[in-house]
Structure 1
């Protein structure tokens, strides 16, 4: 399989309390005092204390067309991705020319050439580096990215693979959208990025061992999470059905995956759960029969930076490593489809 040599979470420079963000965005979303009061209550109940944004908060009053906001995404995402990858490579003792494979994931902007391509000359990656940009995985992209880079390294055990995730959720802001989904999304999602360096087994380097991975696609759930893409850009699709999907599928799914390795839920020493929001984390805990304290890192990340979509679970992983956690760990996330990804880890 492979080993995780370094995880580098990064955030934009602009940081605001949840109350500051709500005060700025509420007038842009609704002019009706009653609906703004609902939005404010929902933001306050999000479990989030602070979030980071790609732009200064006052700039969101002036956001223009989809093309203009997407151009901002390309510029800001490339800068964040460069910071993340330079940091991760330095922490792993590697240089850009050492990288053989790059997977890039995002669901909050589009670019061709993709952001990973824009980094090749900028970072000094080799001209023959293999790249795989991905769009559409959403919140599951961080976990899925780890699994796919691991898949690559299983076939190339002497090589170095990198996962890059950048999500600038603030740039998808929809003005005058008074739907409950938009009320929730504007109070939940933050901006951030992460880079993960993985090395193949033949390199003999230390790190967190990726033991196994599992992918799941749940039928009849395509309308639960996602985007509607229109003239104004990305319009959020987010329903209460997320918790129902978790309750219905996760207990058997996790039991089967762990059972393949002679384990049960009680054998998992470290949980790295995607901090999708309070209801999502509570559904994970309820369905798995796990105490809230076991997901402390995910709750803390939600409070500190919000839901960073595909980058979120990678920020939780970085915090988990920094805490000194050890033993068997299960990392997982949920995204559009609805789909789920599970990564079984052995933390040294």
Structure 2
């Protein structure tokens, strides 16, 4: 098995009320009139109350072109990643020299070398650390990253891995694009990062607090659904592809996927006491609730994360995981399922069990 020793979610700058963001962003997307008013209505209906943004609000009016946005991603994203890694390693009681594998995931900026390479020097990681940068998994990247680290650590039980997610979604909003998908995303997505320390069974856990272990994972991609979610890569950057059919598509498949994962371990839906669900938006959360027959209380942390931060793409489910662990869930011996959804369309599932090594 592998164990999640620490999760460190970080957010840039102050929290901006949704109305304040709409006042600045809506005029950049659509001319005065019905589409701008639609943008404001969509912001209000997003389930988001506040968001943290990588740049001061006033800077978005002057951000022109993909190159400028991507340069800001590299600078701000590296700073956030460094902060998250320091906090996660400190919480795990480990130093940078202890890290054997670094997996970096994002879908909101590109670079070669990527942010993980810069982190090696900034954090003082060993020069022989293994790196695995990932782009394209979208909102599923955090869950998929956790799954990949687990699979590696099962074969390397004496090693430590670091998962780093950085998503600066505000830098992808498309100027002068009044499409409904762009208006929706401009009101839904926020900026943030997360670092997660995962270790093999032979690595000592921090004293005095429980840590969950990863027991199993499952990936599923749905054929013929690529047009429902992803990027349309333009000269101006990443324009979102976001279908209104996405919630119903997930709802049609999710229960079967979760049941298949659980059955592999002799479990049923009723055995799971904790649900760690990607804060993808109100309709996505509703689809998960209805597909799995969950009580609304099971999704309280997801709803709260969405309201306070917006959808943080790959970092979203990791922020929900941090809130879950802070609440003491899952308890020792208790089961949890972590899930996130991304382009493909794809679902990533991780089965966790509470474990107390104190």
Gapped runs of 5+ residues in structure 2? none
**C-alpha distance in structure 2 between counterparts of 1:329 and 1:291, whole Å:** 15
Partners of 1:14 and 1:55 within 8 A in 2: no
Shift of 1:204: 4.4
1:332 and 2:336 correspond:
no
The 3-state SS of whatever aligns with 2:111 is coil
Which residue does 2:40 correspond to in 1? Answer: 40
Which residue does 2:78 correspond to in 1? Answer: 78
Choose from 191, 209, 215 the match for 2:213.
Answer: 209
Which residue does 1:254 correspond to in 2? Answer: 258
The 3-state SS of whatever aligns with 2:202 is helix
Provide, for residues 203-239 of structure 1, a one-character-per-residue CA deviation record: whole Å limited to 9, x for no partner.
2436210011111111110011000111100000001
1:239 and 2:266 correspond:
no
1:23 and 2:27 correspond:
no
Which residue does 1:284 correspond to in 2? Answer: 288
Partners of 1:14 and 1:54 within 8 A in 2: no
Shift of 1:88: 0.1
Partners of 2:173 and 2:185 within 8 A in 1: no
Partners of 2:279 and 2:285 within 8 A in 1: yes
Please show how residues 171-320 of structure 1 align to structure 2 within 5 Å: 171-205=171-205, 207-320=211-324
Greater mean alpha carbon deviation, residues 324-333 or residues 137-146: 324-333
The 3-state SS of whatever aligns with 2:42 is helix
Shift of 1:37: 1.1
Which residue does 2:91 correspond to in 1? Answer: 91
Shift of 1:347: 2.0
**C-alpha distance in structure 2 between counterparts of 1:184 and 1:65, whole Å:** 21
Provide, for residues 250-275 of structure 1, a one-character-per-residue CA deviation record: whole Å limited to 9, x for no partner.
11111111111121111111000001
The 3-state SS of whatever aligns with 2:323 is helix
Greater mean alpha carbon deviation, residues 25-34 or residues 83-92: 25-34
**C-alpha distance in structure 1 between counterparts of 2:167 and 2:97, whole Å:** 25
**C-alpha distance in structure 2 between counterparts of 1:233 and 1:204, whole Å:** 44
1:346 and 2:353 correspond:
yes
Partners of 1:142 and 1:314 within 8 A in 2: yes
Shift of 1:154: 1.2
Shift of 1:64: 1.7
Which residue does 1:123 correspond to in 2? Answer: 123
1:147 and 2:151 correspond:
no
The 3-state SS of whatever aligns with 2:5 is strand
Shift of 1:244: 1.9
Provide, for residues 17-49 of structure 1, a one-character-per-residue CA deviation record: whole Å limited to 9, x for no partner.
000001111111111311111111111011111
**C-alpha distance in structure 2 between counterparts of 1:294 and 1:316, whole Å:** 12
Shift of 1:297: 0.5
- TM-score normalised by structure 2 residue count: 0.96
**C-alpha distance in structure 2 between counterparts of 1:300 and 1:121, whole Å:** 36
**C-alpha distance in structure 2 between counterparts of 1:118 and 1:203, whole Å:** 26
**C-alpha distance in structure 1 between counterparts of 2:68 and 2:217, whole Å:** 38
**C-alpha distance in structure 2 between counterparts of 1:317 and 1:87, whole Å:** 15
Provide, for residues 249-305 of structure 1, a one-character-per-residue CA deviation record: whole Å limited to 9, x for no partner.
111111111111121111111000001000000000011111111111000000010
Gapped runs of 5+ residues in structure 1? none
Shift of 1:14: 3.4
**C-alpha distance in structure 2 between counterparts of 1:60 and 1:337, whole Å:** 30
What is the root-mean-square deviation in Å for CA atoms of aligned residues? 0.9
**C-alpha distance in structure 2 between counterparts of 1:278 and 1:173, whole Å:** 20
Matched pairs, number: 348
**C-alpha distance in structure 1 between counterparts of 2:101 and 2:110, whole Å:** 20
Shift of 1:62: 0.2
